[in-house]
Amino acid sequence: MGAPYIGRMGEKRADVWSHPQLVSTVAAGDWGAVFRTYRQLTGMSQTQLGERVGLVQPEVSNIERGRRHVTSVEVRQRIVEGLRVPAHLLGTDRPGADSPVPALAGPGPDEDLLARVTSVVDGEHPVDAATLDWLDRLLAEHRRAEDEIGSRPLAALMRQQLRTVVDLYGSARGPLAGRVVRLASEHAQFLAWMAQDQGKTAAALAWYDRSHEWALEAGDANMAATTLSMKAHMAWSGGRGDRCVRLAEAARWSAPGTSLGVQGMAAQMAARGHALSGDADDAERLLDEAQELINRAARRREDEPPWMYFYGETWFTLQRGMAALHLRDGKAAVRHLTAGLAALPDDYRRDKTWYRACLAHALAEAGEASHAASVALAIVPDAAEIGRPHAWNELHTVAAALMRRGAREARQLVATLRTYD
């Protein structure tokens, strides 16, 4: 696969930046992976790459191994210039790339509350319940916005918002101090999810750990269990079924008193881990258990924490489809994913793109090449815009599956993906 990109004496070819793996690492902001992939494709040594970007070999090695992260704007710019990263991969030549996040519906405070929030944030007055109520609502609006526009436009904003919440702790008294810690835990969990969505594994794990610690401090069993379930999801995304099961089981027993929905999330994550490992019996047993929990939770929505707003029968149907895909039951996967997508609201744009890519994968594995290609081609623009790296990589998996089967539709999909690479 790398041969076409290797030039004489390790010189890079111009088409190296059309390689999907390299494109996805830039999109994720994982410069260690960029270095590794770039060297693999060009045949460069760490010393040669370092000469291009103004780093010595040990520094290149530390970045590749994750021992050092590229946080300096100057170092990042040297890398971009030295490796000649195309501007369109960095988002610098996209119309509106620097435009503000679209206005959110309804989170703004009225004049009296605005004055109160401002005085609290500026340290003029102690934190009060009204300010924390507004920050709760603001976080809920940002969660909804992320479903539609993706995580990238919101990440920096949410980091700043978390800093504001943490700064409030010093002026919080009594029960309000616990509320501030709980709110910080929710922000950290949201930041972890956004890092995970962008393929930034190390950052996501660090944020999940911080969220879990704050949840324990605040006595929030639901968030403590959720962070473990989401780490299980990360293990599943990385193809580690056994670890997924262990973390999901830990979410079930380590935080007693959780809501039915949170319990259902942990059960279905354990089921997906078993499915990934090919354990059909355990997967089906846990899926049935999760569905029973979900049905009971639906009758008591008021008992669920705010971040579980998305959790319900539609979402669970999609998870059944994912489990069937891992168990190589293509027809069942197509059936569940089709049903789930039909019920998923359009404002879940990022999720719709991901599950449509999975549906295309299931169709390809089921031998329905024409239908698979049709579904995949229709979502390429959305996958390129808000679905990197996950939906985008899944579309490359679809293309590979079609090519293995000798489907003529594979060439059209590959050609379309290249136009966005």
Count other C-beta atoms under 10 Å from residue 318's C-beta. Answer: 22
Residues 68 and 43 both lie in one domain:
yes
Q: Which of 43-52, 126-135, 269-278 has the highest mean pLDDT?
A: 269-278
pLDDT at residue 224 greater than cutoff 90: yes
In a domain, 318, yes or no: no
Domain boundary among 44, 60, 90: 90
The mean pLDDT of 275-298, rounded to a whole number, is 94
- The alpha carbon dihedral of 233, 306, 199, 68 has a sign of negative
pLDDT at residue 287 greater than cutoff 90: yes
Enclosing domain of residue 378: 330-421
In a domain, 324, yes or no: no
pLDDT at residue 362 greater than cutoff 90: yes
- 3-state helix, strand, coil split of the chain in percent (to 5) is 75, 0, 25
In a domain, 421, yes or no: yes
Residues 341 and 421 both lie in one domain:
yes
pLDDT at 321: 95
Residues in the chain: 421
Residues 145 and 230 both lie in one domain:
no
Prior bond of 4 cis (ω within 30°): no
pLDDT at 326: 93
Q: What is the pLDDT of the chain when averaged over all its residues?
A: 84
pLDDT band at 160 (very low <50, low <70, confident <90, very high): confident
> Exposed, middle or buried: residue 324 (CB in 10 Å: 0-12, 13-18, 19+)?
buried
pTM of the model: 0.69
Residues 205 and 238 both lie in one domain:
no
Residues 347 and 404 both lie in one domain:
yes
pLDDT band at 15 (very low <50, low <70, confident <90, very high): low
Domain boundary among 214, 246, 262: 214
Domain boundary among 194, 214, 234: 214
The mean pLDDT of 73-84, rounded to a whole number, is 82
Number of domains in the chain: 4
pLDDT at 124: 54
The mean pLDDT of 288-300, rounded to a whole number, is 91
